Amino acid sequence: MTLLRVSALGDSLTEGLGDPVAGGWRGWAALLAQSLAADPADVAFTNHATSGAQTADVLLRQLPEARGQRPHVAAVIVGGNDTLRATYDIQAVARHLDTTLGSLVEDGTVLLTACLPDPGRMLGLPSALARPLGRRMRSVNTVVHALSERYDAVHVHAAEEPWLFDPVMWSVDRLHPSERGHRALARAFHRELAVRGIAMGPEPDDRTDGMAPSRTAQVLWMATKGTRWVLDRCTDLLPDLLRLAAAERRENRAEQLDREAAERTASALRALPGWREHAAAHAAGGIAPRRSTADRAFVETEVSPA
């Protein structure tokens, strides 16, 4: 019998942080892979995701590994770390994702993608700092939505899932799901895959089989790894965010900055190889791309072949 080969590419979300098991992390992708066949033994799952990965890392390091295994199904969820770096560049994000997704589709792989929640909101940052981060995340999500449509990916609107706002769904760092959160994401993907006739096994269980971190473990994490993460971002992201927040407050031009970001995002998509032809064919077909409520409010500048 031919095994169903499943690969997962991305960052710590897909690596499984927040869902500890003996010897490491499990995560939503592993939970989902077990449910894609009636017998989990008929699935060969490989997790290429690594903590801290950006879109360039997925393209240059993880993609060659995954393509070497010729997966039937591949999850590509990345971009959050790009928004958390002073080097953030939506044009580079679009190029990296387009090449990654396009390469897998050329191999006949079924793609899984998802949009991501606003990290500033999840971290509870002050609004002056959260707004620039939210603007970046909306740009990345807009690119992901557009490319998911382009490559017919199985897409989950994770930025709008109701469970996002339930504290029990998140680990102590507020950036990674808890085991419950990972199970919720796996179930959301399973539902979409079942509609396409790809998921043949039962939906992943929503009951946990692990133990939530104790209060002591949470405090220990924040005092060690959490503090290190904050310090790293203070030397990288924070100065850039402070600059953006100061400009926004000084000039009182949040709406203008939204429009400028939307135009840069649209320009990044238009610059992709073959995008103008794709957009023209899409428009001729009279099919409107699926966008979330946040996307429709954000993208005032339409991505068009012009």
Weakest mean pLDDT among 177-186, 189-198, 281-290: 281-290
Task: Give the separation between CA 73 and CA 275, rounded to whole angstroms.
Answer: 24
Instruction: State the average pLDDT over residues 75-83.
Output: 94
Give mean pLDDT, residues 215-223. 59
Residue 269 CA, chain-centre distance (Å), reads 18
Among 139, 156, 158, smallest CA distance to 148 is for 156
> Can you read off the two tokens belonging to residue 14?
């897909």
Q: Which is nearest to 203 in space by CA: 184, 189, 187, 188?
A: 187
Of 163 and 79, which is predicted with more confidence? 79
Distance of CA 304 to the CA centre of its chain: 24
pLDDT of residue 58: 98
pLDDT of 121 strictly over 90: no
Taking residues 236-257, report their average pLDDT.
73
Tell me how far the alpha carbon of residue 77 is from its chain's centroid. Answer: 4
d(CA 116, CA 55): 14
pLDDT above 80: residue 302:
no
pLDDT tens by residue, 267-298: 999 999 999 899 888 888 754 444 333 333 33
Mapping DSSP onto H, E and C, the string for 204-237 reads CCCCCCCCCCCHHHHHHHHHHHHHHHHHHHHHHH
How long is the chain? Answer: 306
What's the rounded Cα separation, in Å, for the pair 33 and 112? Answer: 12
172-201 mean pLDDT: 90
What SS3 state is found at 51?
Answer: coil
pTM of the model: 0.85
CA separation for the pair 100, 116 (Å, rounded): 18
